[in-house]
A and B are shown apart, each in its own frame.
Chain A
Amino acid sequence: MISAGDGGGQDFELNLASIIDCLTVIIAFLLMSSSFVSFGAMDTAVAAPQSGAAAAPSSEDSKSVTLTLRLVGEKGDEQVEWEVISGNEGKPREKKTLPRAGLLAELQGAKTRYPGLQGVVLSAAPRVQYQQVIQTMDETRKVFSAVILGVSGS
């Protein structure tokens, strides 16, 4: 109880019951109206033939290097087809298939091996689920901020 004993000697008591009533109503309202799911967004672009020149790292720049990742395999046994292509070279500098679990370490290695590596083009096999693509993209963005989505023919 709150009392103002030091005042003029007139003791009074704050009516907490009404305050509690207010708090109960506010809490009930907040519990009902608040959404505990928070949405965010991931920036990307489509590496389609039409927009590829603008979205993908410029192929005219001879120093530019592009890393292409293609997600394949079933959920739980995903693999990544890895290809590094130099701007002025036709054939890939690196081409391999690795388990998705080891992708992060490979990406970090690629960043030191290829200082000109500007971005990553990520695509997937037709049956691969979107969640797997997002997970791979999320992991790739830890190392490379620019990840664009590839569509076949790009």
Chain B
Amino acid sequence: MKRKKFLKRSKKSSSTEMSLNITSMADIFTILLVFLLKSYSVGALEIQPSRGLQVPVALHTDTAESRLTLEIAEGAVQLDGESLVTLKNFELPSGQNTTLNPLAEALANRRAALTDNSQGKLLLIADSRAPYSTLEEVMRTAASEGFGDLKLAVVKAD
């Protein structure tokens, strides 16, 4: 008797078809797609900082352009991805005046390759924790090799 009742009930419940309302789901997906396409940032500046490098944040930025990149990370100074100077916790080895010579040589080579006599242009990607003393040394070297025109890479704050 009980079994019969159960079978009856289960028959009843299976007859009520459940259908998922796909229209509203499609609406949600469309909205999501529009939002993602709008926020899809083909960033003003296409750069690939080294792993672990914290780019500083700024509100006001200028027009970006691709340039020769000079990167100051925790362990090295890199020119266009080529590691030239070793740093220890963002610091240059003390007491060595020739530390930045490889950088100076590389910049001089790049400068010589420039066809016109215009000032060399650099994009400086430095870690936000780097001390100004290191930046100062690197910038002085760059300027002395004719790369005084700088753009500083920053993360745009919203």
Chain B 133-157, CB within 8 Å of chain A: the 1/0 string? 1011001101110101111111110
Shortest distance in angstroms between B40's beta carbon and chain A's nearest beta carbon?
A: 5
The CA of A127 and the CA of B152, in the complex, are separated in Å by 19
Determine if B155 and A37 form an interchain contact, defined as CB atoms under 8 angstroms apart: yes
Q: Count of A residues near B, CB < 8 Å? A: 50
Q: Which of B36, B62, B128 has a CB less than 8 Å from the CB of A129?
A: B128
Q: Which of B43, B119, B144 has a CB less than 8 Å from the CB of A35?
A: B43
Measured CB to CB, the nearest residue on chain A to B63 is A41
Q: Is B113 an interface residue (CB 8 A)?
A: no
Residues of A within 8 A of B149 (CB): 45
Known: A35-B41, A129-B131. A41 touches B56 (CB 8 A): no
Binding site of A, secondary structure by majority: helix, strand, loop or mixed?
Answer: mixed
Residues of A within 8 A of B140 (CB): 46, 48, 151, 153
Determine if A138 and B59 form an interchain contact, defined as CB atoms under 8 angstroms apart: yes
Known: A16-B26, A41-B153. A152 touches B136 (CB 8 A): yes
The CA of A31 and the CA of B56, in the complex, are separated in Å by 24
Which of the segments B7-15, B27-35, B80-88 contacts the partner chain? B27-35
Chain B contact patch, size range: 35 or more
The CA of A34 and the CA of B135, in the complex, are separated in Å by 31
Known: A48-B144, A130-B135, A131-B56. A38 touches B29 (CB 8 A): no
A28-61 at interface with B (beta carbon < 8 Å): 30-31, 34-46, 48, 50-51, 54-55
Measured CB to CB, the nearest residue on chain B to A22 is B29
Which of the segments A87-95, A99-107, A108-116, A118-126 contacts the partner chain? A118-126
Determine if A55 and B148 form an interchain contact, defined as CB atoms under 8 angstroms apart: yes
Known: A127-B133, A129-B129. A40 touches B56 (CB 8 A): no
Q: Which of A125, A133, A142, A153 has a CB less than 8 Å from the CB of B60?
A: A142
Most B C-beta atoms less than 10 A away, residue of A1, A51, A141: A51
Known: A38-B43, A40-B45, A50-B148. A130 touches B132 (CB 8 A): yes
- 3 closest Cβ contacts across the A-B interface? A40-B61, A48-B143, A51-B148
Which residues on B are within 8 Å of A, measured CB to CB? 22-23, 25-26, 29-30, 32-33, 36-37, 39-41, 43-47, 55-65, 119, 123, 126-133, 135-136, 139-140, 142-144, 146, 148-156
